Structure 1
C-alpha cells in the first residue's frame, strides 16, 4: 500500500485553492481523491446552507487530474508540480445543483489519451457509491519555456 502525501503536495496551488482532502490512489492511468463538503478546504466556497455548488465539480475533477500528473512528476524528478491548463470539458453533468453539506465526494479520473502536452480524461464524482457528477476534461501541459512566456505576457498585458 502506498502512503500518499496530501493533495497539495502534488498540485501547484496554494491554500485556499486546493480543493481536495485526501489522495486515495494513483496508477498509470487513473487517480482517486476525496473531499468532504464542510468546514475543511471547501469552507470558503459553500452556500449559506453549507452545500457546494455543482459547478465546482469541474475544478475538483481537474485537480484530481493535477494530482495524477503531479504524483507522476514527483516519481521522475521530485520537483514542485508545474501548472497545467484546463482546455475544456465535454458533457459535464451533475445530478443536482449542489453537492450536499456533509457528503464525502469520491473523485475518480481515468486517462483516455495523452501525448507530450495534451491529455483527455473521464472524471466522475460519487457520493456513497452513487455517481453524482461526470464529464470529460481536456488538459494542456505547457513546458517551462511556454509557461514563462505565458506568465510574461500576463504581466505585460
Structure 2
C-alpha cells in the first residue's frame, strides 16, 4: 500500500482524467482503504468564478473529482490502469452558504459507503470551505457513481 506521504506527491493528472480548466483539485492530502482527502485553493482564474465568488453547488464537481482521485489511487495501488467514471446522482446536497469566495481553501473528504462488483458505488462526501477571513462552512452530500470496466461499453464505441 502506498503511504499518505507518497500519495501527496502524486500528479493529479495521473489520478483524475480531467485536464486544463476542468481539473479542479490541487492535491491529495491523505488517503486510506475506503476514503480520500483532497485540497484545492480557489483562485480568480477558476472557470466557475464570477466576480470573486463561485456558487457552492459547484462543490459537487470537487467531490466527484475527489472520488475519481480515490479510484485513481486504488488503481495505482493495485498496478491497474486508471479508468474513467461517471457521476450518476446526488442525494441531500446541503450547503451552509451559497458561494465560495476567491482565496478559500477547499478540503474535500470522500468516504466509500459501498462499491458493487458492477461498478456502481456510493460515497458520503464533505467539502469544508475555509474562507480568507478565517470563517469556515461545510457542504455535504451522498454521491452515486459508476465506473465501468471499459467506458466504451457504455457508449457502444
Per the shorter chain, which TM-score range?
0.7 to 0.9
SS in structure 1 opposite 2:21? coil
Deviation at 1:130, TM superposition (A): 4.3
Q: In structure 1, what is the Cα distance between the partners aligned to 2:129 and 2:19? A: 26
- Which residue, out of 141, 151, 155, partners 1:151? 155
Query: Corresponding residue for 1:36?
Result: 41
Q: Is 1:45 equivalent to 2:48 in the alignment?
A: yes
Equivalent residue runs for 1:11-22 within 5 Å: 11-22=16-27
- Contact 2:148-2:154 at 8 Å conserved across structures: no
The number of aligned residues is: 147
Deviation at 1:18, TM superposition (A): 1.0
Q: Which runs of 5+ in 2 are unaligned?
A: none
Deviation at 1:138, TM superposition (A): 0.7
- Contact 2:22-2:47 at 8 Å conserved across structures: no
Q: Which moved more, 1:105-114 or 1:6-15?
A: 6-15
Q: Which runs of 4+ in 1 moved over 6 A?
A: none
Deviations 1:4-29 (A, max 9, x none): 31322201222121111111011111
Q: Is 1:97 equivalent to 2:98 in the alignment?
A: yes
Q: Which runs of 5+ in 1 are unaligned?
A: none
- Contact 2:38-2:66 at 8 Å conserved across structures: yes
Q: TM-score, normalised by structure 1?
A: 0.85
- Which residue, out of 107, 113, 138, partners 2:144? 138
Query: Corresponding residue for 1:64?
Result: 66
